[in-house]
Amino acid sequence: MLTVSIVRPDRKPALVLWEIHSRGGGSQTAFEVGKPPPGFSTATALASPLPPRLHLVAIVHTTTFADVIAGFEVSRLREGLVYTGDEKYLSEESFDQRARERCR
């Protein structure tokens, strides 16, 4: 099982803005918020665009590996680049290569 969520952590409990599930897991390395990839179903639909300057959290939960949690602001994201935090960006190719090296 694979779950991908975008949440507002400033709410108690945290407010889920968008969430998708896949019973079969998946090999995706990127997700476009609001558009579930093939094999995923929407658990919580995106009701409105994500707020550009609010701190949000992306959570990827699997039943096989450790969860991945990443904070971000929409206004800091760049088309075609992966935001790695602290104002650092990688191309998708560089990000995939780094992931392969670190996740052996």
The fraction of the chain above a pLDDT of 90, given in percent, is 50
Angle (CA) 75 29 83, round 5°: 25
pLDDT > 70: percent of the chain? 96
pLDDT in tens, 30-55: 788 999 999 999 999 999 999 999 99
pTM for the model: 0.81
Confidence tier at 104 by pLDDT (50, 70, 90): low
- As a whole number of angstroms, the distance between CA 89 and CA 41 comes to 29
More confident of the two residues 100 and 12: 12
Length of the chain: 104
Range 18-24 average pLDDT: 92
